Amino acid sequence: MTELEQAVVVVPAHNEIERLPRSLSALLAASMRTTMRVLIVVVLDACDDGSERLAQRFGPNVHFISIDAGNVGAARAAGFSYARSVCTATEAARTWFATTDADTIVESNWLSHMAGAGADMVLGTVRIPVWRLPVEVARRYLAAYQSNGPGHDHVHGANMGFRADAYWSVGGFRALATGEDVDLVERFEAAHLSIHRDAKLSVTTSARQDGRAPGGFAAHLRQLGLSSRSRKVAEA
């Protein structure tokens, strides 16, 4: 494959002024552990919490753009389209795209690990502070999530990356309110592009159950809680 020269990370955010600084600090640390030039694009989607005030705190390689879609798929798509318009010096074949979430903390080797996998797409896993969850919910989550091998069968918009030319070849993210990550993976599979699923490529995300995307990861945690309560009622 063509050697990669630059990376673009897109972070959709909807009223995340409290969590976003930690997320961006971690991404900047990851950008220092790779030889690629790194551009971070924060997409403020329908924000009214003053998140735009953060734009001056993180330097010239972190760009903030604003949209009013209220749609995480549209936000991710807007971020990569913006990057395409400003990163004209390097062709798509030499560019790595990645995306994460505003409530997520990446490891310092996150970008270098992804880009070095030699695949068209890399899918990682997430860790959550399970101690914040009720004990039964934490047990149900861990039992369903853990993998016994190096691969896994999860898809998280908070931890995925792909070659830019492969991304554009399948049409990019669609404006879906939820499941935009799964939809993109399905189109990579349909195009017979290589996908590397790495259980060791992990990020830390919040355990909140009031997520921004309907039917997303937070909704999954909320459903586990409802299932746990229903089970207790049935056993009573």
Per-residue model confidence as pLDDT tens digits over 187-230: 999 999 999 999 899 999 875 546 555 555 555 555 545 444 44
Domain-located, residue 1: no
Q: Cα Rg for the chain, rounded, in angstroms?
A: 18
Domain-located, residue 200: yes
Provide the CATH number for the domain around residue 184.
Answer: 3.90.550.10
Question: DSSP assignment of 109-149, as one string?
Answer: THHHHHHTT-SSEEEEEEE--GGGS-HHHHHHHHHHH--SS
**Confidence tier at 80 by pLDDT (50, 70, 90):** very high
Domain-located, residue 105: yes
Which residues constitute the domain of residue 210?
A: 6-235
Q: Are 85 and 126 in contact (CB under 8 A)?
A: no
pTM: 0.84
Q: 190 vs 152, which has greater pLDDT?
A: 190
Q: What is the mean pLDDT of residues 167-189?
A: 96
User: How many domains are contained in the chain?
Assistant: 1
Domain-located, residue 181: yes
Q: 200: helix, coil or strand? A: strand
Q: Are 7 and 96 in contact (CB under 8 A)?
A: yes
Q: What is the mean pLDDT of residues 144-163?
A: 83
Q: Please report the pLDDT score of residue 87 as a whole number.
A: 78
Q: What is the mean pLDDT of residues 71-83?
A: 97
| Residue 16 reports pLDDT greater than 60 | yes
Q: Are 198 and 150 in contact (CB under 8 A)?
A: yes
Per-residue model confidence as pLDDT tens digits over 86-103: 876 678 889 999 999 999
